[in-house]
């Protein structure tokens, strides 16, 4: 299995058979060096309608066999632009996919969709995802402020392997709130996202690294474009 950080909130992982991208913001993402045409995907997950998350989702999902998982409003919007293969969820709902369960979980954020003519449309509720990719569990928080709802995501029997948490502030949690979220989630690894893409979300990760120097969570800072590999399918 591979896991690649494409910058901002764009997480790409998978194996030879299935490849998942969450919030595919490639075009216009100053941190992303990968072209949409080079991205091989089977499943696209979108956390909310903002352009830095919906990104290239529609283009990717118009490809044969690619499935979109998003909230109902985003799925309906995508269908109007030629996307056929969708699983529409709402908060608390789970999609049972070929690689495992994808559960839509709460986020505290907004979700406007911008139509090609510039019109702003309601994009449902913003959300996060708990994704089981075979035996690995990933939590992608989407854009969110710190919320007590995160406490519900901790499952002592099935620990989160990697939590992707926004840390840039202004539109989402900042590094200090992410430290609190980590205490509640107790994941094995935190990978910070949604920072340094734009001037207003430029931050220092030092407090984060300092906070995780001790304790049972490791902070892994991934450079945009970096990939980690491992035999993630095997149960330990």
Helix (H, G, I), strand (E, B) or coil at 151: helix
Q: No. of H helices and E strands in the chain?
A: 5, 16
Residue partners of 106: CB distance under 8 A and separation at least 6:
91, 125, 127, 128, 144, 147, 149
- Give the binding range for Ni ion (CB under 5 A) out of 48-56, 129-137, 189-197, 220-228: 48-56
Among 23, 52, 56, 177, binds Mn ion (CB under 5 A): 52
Among 59, 73, 143, 177, binds Ni ion (CB under 5 A): 143
- Cβ distance to Mn ion smaller for residue 56 or 143: 143
Shortest reach from residue 47's CB to Mn ion, in Å? 9
Task: Map residues 68-107 to x or -, x wherever contact with Ni ion holds by CB under 5 A.
Answer: ----------------------------------------
Question: Restricting to residues 91-150, which ones interact with Mn ion according to CB under 5 A?
Answer: 143
- Cβ distance to Mn ion smaller for residue 41 or 126: 126
Shortest reach from residue 229's CB to Mn ion, in Å? 28
Question: Restricting to residues 140-179, which ones interact with Mn ion according to CB under 5 A?
Answer: 143
Could you list the beta-strand ranges (E) of the chain. Answer: 2-5, 11-14, 19-22, 43-45, 67-71, 86-89, 94-96, 101-106, 112-114, 120-122, 127-133, 136-140, 162-166, 189-193, 218-219, 227-229
Chain residues in the site for Mn ion (CB under 5 A): 52, 143
């Amino acid at each position: 299995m591979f896991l690649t950080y494409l910058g901002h909130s764009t997480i790409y992982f998978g194996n030879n058979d299935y490849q998942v991208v969450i919030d595919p913001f490639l075009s216009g993402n100053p941190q992303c060096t990968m072209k949409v045409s080079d991205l091989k995907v089977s499943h696209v997950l979108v956390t909310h309608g903002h352009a830095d998350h919906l990104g290239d989702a529609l283009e990717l999902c118009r490809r044969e066999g690619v499935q979109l998982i998003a909230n109902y409003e985003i799925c309906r919007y995508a269908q109007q632009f030629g996307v056929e293969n969708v699983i529409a969820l709402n908060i608390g709902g789970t999609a049972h996919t070929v690689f495992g369960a994808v559960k839509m979980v709460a986020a505290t954020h907004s979700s406007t969709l911008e139509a090609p003519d510039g019109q702003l449309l309601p994009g449902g509720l913003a959300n996060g995802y708990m994704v089981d990719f075979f035996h690995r569990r990933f939590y992608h928080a989407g854009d969110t402020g710190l919320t007590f709802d995160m406490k519900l995501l901790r499952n002592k029997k099935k620990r989160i392997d990697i939590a992707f948490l926004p840390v840039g502030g202004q539109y989402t949690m900042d590094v200090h709130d992410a430290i609190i979220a980590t205490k509640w989630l107790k994941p094995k690894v935190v990978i910070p996202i949604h920072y340094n893409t734009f001037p207003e979300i430029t931050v220092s990760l030092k407090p984060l690294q300092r906070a995780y120097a001790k304790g049972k969570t490791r902070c892994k800072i991934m450079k945009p474009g970096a990939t980690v590999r491992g035999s993630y399918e095997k149960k330990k």
